[in-house]
Homo-oligomer: A and B are copies of this chain.
Amino acid sequence: MSEHDPVQNQPPVFTLNDVRIVMVDTSHPGNIGAAARAMKTMGLADLCLVSPKKFPDREASDRATGAQDVLDQARVVDNLDDAIADCGLVVGASARSRTLPWPMLNPRELADRVADHPTGSKVAILFGRESSGLTNDELARCHYHVHIPSNPEFSSLNVASAVQVIVYELRMREVLAEAQTERAWGVEWDKPPANSQQLEGLFNHWQQTLVEIDFLDPTNPRTLMSKLRRLILRAQPDEIEANILRGMLTQIDKSIRKP
């Protein structure tokens, strides 16, 4: 392969496999299970638990539902250093106000940093205690802090919900990186859009029918047809949809001419 093969110039594929979620001193096993489920739905698998109060635990498994494998593979360690030793980027979830200012990202900016991080180098994202978050000492081990924007009057985000938001942003970043050509339709939209000729035929027919049923006064049409055009054009009908409307008009014409 040539040195200038265009394929080699593409940015490295962003991978979620390099991202580890680290939960520190978690009190409620249900939150560990919910975090595992959140991770798996977003395509992450590397969970590390620092001194969890109760783990393994029935409640963790209940909340994990189909993500028991993430719990089974979770590494349990005694101290934070063991959890992050091999990581090239460490980010701690934090409320906004800390005595010592630190580089602060929102979750979207975090996803950008993670995507820019060299493939193969591990990234750790740390989540603290339900009651009090991460300590200042733990936060000082981080390259960045990440803050999830919240209601200033009630910023008490559940820890598994915080994991959900962060891993969602990572997945969105991956999805957007992969395919900016993603279609706006729920499944592949395979009908060609009605062309201008078909649409003009539709609007002309529609107008005649409206005159025939005395809904449109041809001597005083006002903006009726313009409003109908604007409505239908806004929806960008496909050929089938345009045909349905044409068919309906034909059937109205027949019905009013019945003896």
Contacts and interface: CB of A to CB of B under 8 A. Distances in A.
A247 B216 CA distance: 11
A50 interface: no
A41 B186 contact: no
Contacts of A235: 231-232, 234-235
Interface string A82-126: 000000000000101110011111111000000000000000000
**Copies per complex of this chain:** 2
Interface in A126-183: 145, 147-151, 154-158, 160-161, 164-165, 168, 171-172, 175
B41 A155 contact: yes
A151 B40 contact: yes
Contacts of A227: 240-241, 244
A230 to B, nearest CB: 8
A96 B172 contact: no
Contact size class for A?
Answer: 35 or more
B98 A187 contact: yes
Nearest to A149: B175
A237 interface: yes
Contact of A151 (B43, B102, B164): B43
Interface of A: 34, 37-38, 40-43, 65-67, 94, 96-98, 101-108, 145, 147-151, 154-158, 160-161, 164-165, 168, 171-172, 175, 184-189, 210, 212-215, 224, 227-228, 230-232, 234-237, 240-241, 244, 247-248, 251-252, 254-256, 258
28 contacts: A41-B151, A41-B156, A41-B157, A41-B161, A67-B154, A101-B187, A101-B188, A101-B189, A104-B186, A107-B168, A107-B172, A108-B172, A149-B172, A161-B161, A164-B164, A213-B251, A213-B254, A215-B247, A215-B248, A224-B244, A227-B240, A228-B241, A230-B241, A231-B241, A234-B236, A252-B252, A252-B255, A256-B258
